[in-house]
């Protein structure tokens, strides 16, 4: 599937009812991040979530809405790459793609 097709798949599946039974909110961010090549570091005591690509870039999200901020960033990254490289093929994981979808009523 190309990057443009993956982005279209994610946007087309927005509004799902709930997360799959075998994935929690933290695992959702980890799956979404891994799908786009990011590692995740959680610092719950500091209400901090960090997305990073070793030796490339780091993005930090703070506070109670840190997971929503991280998901917003990851969806933006998907849209950016899909716009810049729409016809580039890549391997995709359904769990990772589903993790990027908005749940029913979810707003970012």
DSSP assignments along 54-83, one per residue: TTTEEEEEESTTHHHHHHHHHHHHHHHHHH
Q: What is the pLDDT of residue 63?
A: 92
User: What's the domain count of the chain?
Assistant: 1
Mean pLDDT of the chain: 92
Domain coverage including residue 44: 3-100
Query: Among positive and negative, which fits the CA dihedral 25, 79, 43, 94?
Result: positive
Report the C-alpha gap between 57 and 91 in whole angstroms: 22
Contact 41, 49 (CB under 8 A): yes
User: Which stretches in the chain have pLDDT values below 70?
Assistant: none
Residue 106 domain flag: no
Q: What is the pLDDT of residue 56?
A: 94
Give every CB contact of residue 91 below 8 A, 6+ residues apart in sequence. none
Residue 105 domain flag: no
Q: What is the pLDDT of residue 25?
A: 82
Residue 14 domain flag: yes
Q: What is the pLDDT of residue 9?
A: 97
Q: What is the pLDDT of residue 105?
A: 87
Residue 108 domain flag: no
């Amino acid at each position: 599937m190309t990057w443009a097709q993956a982005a279209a798949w994610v946007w087309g599946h927005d509004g799902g009812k709930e997360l799959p039974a075998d994935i929690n909110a933290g695992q959702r961010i980890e799956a979404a991040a891994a799908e786009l090549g990011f590692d995740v570091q959680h610092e719950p005591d500091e209400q901090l979530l960090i997305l990073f690509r070793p030796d490339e870039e780091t993005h930090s999200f703070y506070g109670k809405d840190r997971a929503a901020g991280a998901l917003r960033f990851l969806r933006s990254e998907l849209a950016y790459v899909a716009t810049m490289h729409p016809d580039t093929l890549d391997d995709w994981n359904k769990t990772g793609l589903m993790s990027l979808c908005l749940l029913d009523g979810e707003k970012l």
